[in-house]
Structure 1
């Protein structure tokens, strides 16, 4: 039985509209939820907080009928319920709007709002009544959208609002918004929050899931924190400092800021290493605010921040995967436009995605085929690499990176996660990069493979390669990096030398950010070019 002290119910709403008690869900080899409890009150915005894998999505899917619970009880307005399908949950008044808009862009706004509930006349859809009902729903939300207009003609922000209108059209008592602001700019977020407050005033219970702390503290009345499938606690937002929230999410004690935000990184005029890449005001609307980044030869630049902070979005801009719509990039002093991964590869900039299965290895191919893939693409498909040279390349990287099994003909899908990651690294190293961008290269792999990859990064930097290193494990970032860029809510809040940085100081910046522009240190390292901690001296936890 979960025994957590909870804050009082809101005045005038003593009974929760949703109450989940001692919920447990297990999947093969993992307990996703372990006896957690959760509640929502009418007319409140409630944020579910926790890092990736904390159990947030599992709880939502249990509430909405996607997953069946192993034990525990779910009550809706005081009555026990058990939803076998999402349709049953919707009929009971629980609606969900997902991060990816789940509507039909080839239909009109009205058709999307009324989909599945169209008014009929003599067996046919009554288009006039459908548009009139959709207009009523839109008017109720204060939205000036033509119900007859094609959904695809509207921005993503408008499509999100149409999705909310559709959810409200079923007389929702509970509205779940899963990362609704991930692709919205500040004005669009403000409009969404206006709608949320209006629904809140109408008594709707709203579950707002977001990794953006500023937005959570602006809109949420109550917070529930999960960690590793367990309930940490329920809190009133006004009673929980941001730094304490981050501590509860991550499970570490955090010291005070100690004026870390005022630290300015001053460069020495002599002995500075050569700049390889410099990005100024680089940004992408709805993805990440403009950032300033410099990477020197032989330098590891670490990125720290919570999931959704903008780390990956910056990496994808630098790697040419996504196109920036602001800013400039120079490589070796020459301005370049990195509009495609091929263009980035031509500048010897290689991006290794955090999603190695979907955007990395080709699991149906052999180790050899995966390793030579980028090199062959760079060379041109009409100039195939000779088979003997393929074998030599594959075997050299198998030996150098200790890929197991040491068989170039092994199918990649049969390798462990750590060995798949090594194959992906071998692919990029075969093209002789000058800048290697690694997004979560050690996620989901064993400690031994982590240590080997960290040692490789350390060795590459010693030999003059620039590395951008992104990891959710702050100890790992500090172990490898010369400098650390801190991201928060899709903004760059600090760029600091890794002289005396600690996990606590990084967590403090992640929690609090910076309101002073001087906290953004210049992108030039000390003349001493401090060497990162040797990864062989410890293991990543």
Structure 2
């Protein structure tokens, strides 16, 4: 007699109005198994997970728990059944402390009073499980994105889930933090927990999962043991086409190409010191280094998003001293933030308003010409392959990949000649990554100069003409050509000798 699945969907479909987004989806999660669910943004993964966890009811089909049909009327019903979900977008109360978030809605009491001492003791223990050393009294709003994610994970682990649903849990984690999380996942698996894991990082899927289900366009297109499908086959199943050529050919920018941006001794107090580099026309310069190395802060300082000083900044041969991001934009230098949801887009507004917000002066002096805005949106949808069923859809309802493409279109509407793009493909599926890489290489071929900050090693290696590595707020070295490899970049990130690798210029 076969053991029933801990939690399963059978023939589930889901419609929002007249649009069916899930089509006859069946999925089984077993105790002591890590089940990976993968697919492009918009494939239906998030809707599937929300139905499993009780956030949304199915339009048809059934949900079974331990072989018995169940109906979850709410998230609370799902949690009462032992199903806990770790969200891709943080589900934390920003103004409450870490400790308050961990116990929110299930506070411990001693009589009529809150048992604060016990909650603090347990909060410290839960944080220690994921090697997160933040103070439990710290407001969540003051944490980094990676620390917020670790708090989210600690909160979920504290609930002793029978089923743990993890939606892109590693998207903002460092390699070390991911290793810590995976150790916890293995411990949960050994203890008999059923785990559903989603990630766009296929190497992680291959490493941690026992079973892989692939979704495309709202339907399951593959389901089977992880050992029976390669990473390349996963990618092909996800997008419906081969993606072996993920990175377009590099331009081979000549050393004699004109320097368009020169920075000498840029300092951002508390984050980066004496950062110097040059950027040539048609070049993609990658910036690597560990989280906390000062990469983002240095570039934010360059475009006046943070207080900064520099010995000199020269853009297209002209000395610059930017007092605001608007001044940098007017000079032809634009920065695309790593945080598209909080700092890049207005999630409750439509695509048209988001696209033109940064360049409203182009669409009317006293009144906004909405017809011109609509025309600009139509062009952006074609140029950047933004996929949305309704042009008026709130941007928050777009998939992460389409949000990122809209943000890139928004920045390019200002016609920058130098573009700084921070974490260009974070939380994006492999098919959309391929599109964005091709877009960046096309922009470089057209004469734009591009700086890419990335925490993904394959992205740095596959996309960059040169890589500048930062460590502890300083440039530790720059590599180019054949020296752009993982070993050299990691050594520079850790402050180790890169063994005099060819084309390595030590700072």
Q: Which has the larger radius of gyration?
A: 1
How far has the Cα of 1:489 moved from its partner?
Answer: 3.5
Aligned equivalents of 2:14 and 2:302: distance in 1?
39
Q: Are 1:201 and 2:169 an aligned pair?
A: no
Partner of residue 326, structure 2: 342
Equivalence for 2:460: 492
After TM superposition, give the deviation of residue 300 of structure 1 in Å: 9.6
Q: Residues 91-121 of structure 1, C-alpha deviation per residue, up to 9 Å, x if partnerless?
A: 1111112234323455454433222222333
Q: Provide the secondary structure at the position in 2 that maps to 1:358.
A: coil
Aligned partners of 2:79 and 2:433: how far apart in 1? 35
Cα 1:57/1:124, change in 2 over 3 Å: same
What secondary structure does 2:32 align onto? coil
Q: Quote how far apart the aligned CAs of 1:166 are.
A: 2.6
The 1-side partners of 2:107 and 2:82 are apart by 18
TM-score (norm 2): 0.62
* Matched-pair contact (CA < 8 Å) for 1:105–1:150: no
Within 5 A, what are the aligned runs for 1:41-190? 41-134=30-123, 137=126, 141=129, 149-152=137-140, 156-190=145-179
User: Match of 2:242, SS?
Assistant: coil
Q: Within 5 A, what are the aligned runs for 1:320-331?
A: 320=303, 331=315
Residues 480-527 of structure 1: per-residue CA shift (max 9 Å, x gap) = 556499989463122489xxxxxxxxxxxxxxx976879xxx9xxxxx
Q: TM-score, normalised by structure 1?
A: 0.59
Q: Does 1:420 align with 2:408?
A: no
Q: Which runs of 5+ in 1 are unaligned?
A: 1-11, 285-289, 304-312, 377-386, 395-407, 426-437, 447-456, 498-512, 523-541
Residues 204-215 of structure 1 mapped to structure 2, 5 A cutoff: 204-215=193-204
Aligned length: 410
CA distance in 2, matches of 1:246, 1:324: 42
User: In the alignment, which residue of structure 2 is the partner of 1:373?
Assistant: 360
RMSD of the TM alignment (CA)? 5.4
Relative to structure 1, is the Cα distance of residues 246 and 374 closer, same or farther in structure 2, using a 3 angstrom cutoff? same
Q: Post-superposition shift, 1:268?
A: 5.5
Range with greater deviation from structure 2 (130-139 or 52-61): 130-139
Q: Equivalent residue for 1:537?
A: none
In structure 2, relative to structure 1, the CA distance for the partners of 1:330 and 1:445 (3 Å cut) is farther
Q: Which runs of 5+ in 2 are unaligned?
A: 269-274, 287-295, 390-408, 425-431, 466-483, 490-502
Alignment of 1:214-293 (within 5 A): 214-253=203-242, 266=252, 273-277=257-261
CA contact (8 A) 1:109 1:150 kept: yes
User: How many Å separate the matches in 2 of 1:137 and 1:516?
Assistant: 34
In structure 1, distance between residues paired with 2:347 and 2:16: 26
Contact between 2:212 and 2:223, CA under 8 Å: does it hold in 1? yes
SS at match of 1:26: strand
SS of the residue aligned with 1:248? helix
Cα distance in 2, alignment partners of residues 231 and 329 from structure 1 = 52
User: What SS is found at the alignment partner of 1:493?
Assistant: helix
